[in-house]
Structure 1
């Protein structure tokens, strides 16, 4: 603020015609002296240099301090003019939508007012040692200089002998149950920074159930929003989830959990602020680290409105990488959680700091301040910390919504394929003089298989045209960017990751996306010489700068050792369970000390979902019959045939329902 006042006074001294030249020179000389003191101070603490930049914007907090300083000096301060509406704010306001379902909910509860009395309560914090200290900078520094205080993870309570939180038929791991026990005991704000694969989504959803924080708002990346809806169904049975796509035409505003991706958040801000959420989860919270970005401002505005309407809302930030560039990356996440605001620590955190009895000038302040922030709700567990609780190998499906032009064309092609199969089905029944409405289930199954087999034979022989194989390839192309984005997130969170794809163009796109995300990768393909391939493998295994291996599912799926990674991304599905398993086993092999997680990217509402289901059924059969050895030579054709049969069955059932 002093730097801003010096700048203002310098401009006034230079421009005031009533000031004589000797007076002007004297004022400028004094201002230069103040500027020299500021520069020396910034030289000792380089984090202050940014405050001296000529284009530094004046925040609301700085504006308030300026007014107080000038008034204390006896200078009359003009009333601040209302801030003009920026072009960006006007554009956001113009984009606002109000889905019909939201309007229906508002009409269903027209007199339901928010409980402002509860939100008005502010815990008293006596102003003692820290009343006049700037604390945000020292709090950030405490995570650089105070790391001797131990791991940055709050102490969690021990769990009861019996799992009280998992739904029937499912079981939580001990580290998950300890987190939920903390929620059960009343803790409500968390930076849940567990590494990927440790079940952060499940923990946050069950936490909402334990805290009764419904309705719950989940702001998530586009690549995982469909998976969130599925996880709601799995971990909190009886609770309904709705996923917002585009303008929200198919939104269910009466659902318990509302899932929205960052990209469409701007057009739904208006009604989201007033729906009455009692909890909010931000997935991949490092996405909001840039406070000047639209997504950060939107998320923080929603969080602020939620706290204004609830005394103690459930607020959870999920990210395996809370820090990417600097400790300042904490700022937006802490603001979302309500631990700090623009001016400094909010009452709860300030109270903890006051209890320590130290100031930033005291020895021991940094470790104490760091622990105070950690105790606010930072939870960080790594795979290596909980390895004994994890299965050695597991496959996690991530459904993604293909809502671009390519996705719409894929769904249209699938509908056309279904109609083509339906026409053939009716033709066969017509030749048999069988009424489609009265066909027996046995005859229907026989004709469906016959038609699907004929389509499969023609597709294998075809060189051009739309068929099941071209459709699956297009699905892979449509998933490429989303899958590569997720691989980049894993690389930043847990280290090395192996990315498998079936087609070269999907691999090319993945390498392009990874390069844009500053993730260095190697490529393992079928057209490489043995020496070139080994060079890429050695680089992945031994070079810490190489974070990803982009591999061909067929060329790199056997005979390779890639166990420097413990995470695998399957961007495209194989037609066989064995090929998928072989790919995962490039990482899960003798010598691997970490549990392995394979992330399978599934295109929701397409044939991709059916293929995944069929592959799993084949894998289950093989596991039961051969202890993991899938030696069924016809498995690939079987899955292809069953997928076509499923498309035809859906087309027949769709016709009957109409």
Structure 2
């Protein structure tokens, strides 16, 4: 006989409200700000919905966390079922699917293994939970297509993400497909494209129509999501304190990084001394790959300044472990190597895309247990779903184009369980791509203010002269063109 064990831990009142909204009111996108316990809300909703077969799809780094939380809440016991966590080492997972219980699978595995997708679809879960659902924002990826196909076989669906709209209203289109919510808001995906965006100057791009975004927000709030901010439900949570720290890297390293792009532009301008707008647009497309090269070079050039900042922090607050956020793996490695050279007694761990499933879990546990002084983590690889509240200080040695990704990373520390203000410092290298990246962040923040008002996504301040990588390349081209014209004069 199946018993009903108590749900553990006792949820906060707002978490109970969120679970009820998902289970009974059809607000099946739990979109609370990061750090408010969406996992608990989804598992509580599953308990309310009496789901005997629940499939949880999440990023690879979160499989272990979901397994632990499912055991802690004792949900599987209510189904007299099992918990199966599918990892890359799981052999023939389709043959191990339980008659009842919880199956947890990484979204990357589902997109890579068509047989696994088919097995999970045939399992026909009572409830599908998709964690960090903003990872499905691109409808053309294998991951998004696989999740949508599985969702059609599920009786109920719940999506979780603290950043439902990363940068454009188009981000919600796949989420609505997963949740089968187009009828609820009276809009198809094509309607959202046509009514809330307009063609961009570059081919195939779309820009938000800012005057209409509050209307879309209202539809989503009424029919699709439950979204609360930390200020709404946890007024006692300590504040975030953000600061920019300007540094001057080695000019030679920056010149070297820009040399290839400058040479490419100069060679092109020799053939087109008075280029038309159309010709410049063609060059912009050809030069876009250089942006990644410049970002990487800027990150590497900041390593000495970052290590100085890290040393100052550790000397002044040795009991406050530090998280250092990066973008590029070689920047992560360079930081770790330099700290090992300068401070051999400092305990350093790294989390990047190459970190194995078990090593990630062990590194997080070690950090939380106080056995790590500096955790160097890639924003994309470790910026979601983890709880890292042992420390209250973070350094962004590199940052991201998207405010949502930055906020997700910040909120590994600024979440339930944090008792101190979280101090976040971002390194800005003078005369590099950094300033332009922050202009992009500022522009995107304006869109998010309309779509998710009241949320904490003001990760930077600055000018809005540039709006994206293409505009940055165009500005660099114009700078070179002006220099050539002044030299000729």
Structure number with the higher strand fraction is 2
TM normalised by structure 1 equals 0.35
User: Larger RCO: Structure 1 or Structure 2 (Cα < 8 Å, ≥ 6 residues apart)?
Assistant: 2
Larger radius of gyration, structure 1 or 2? Answer: 1
TM normalised by structure 2 equals 0.45
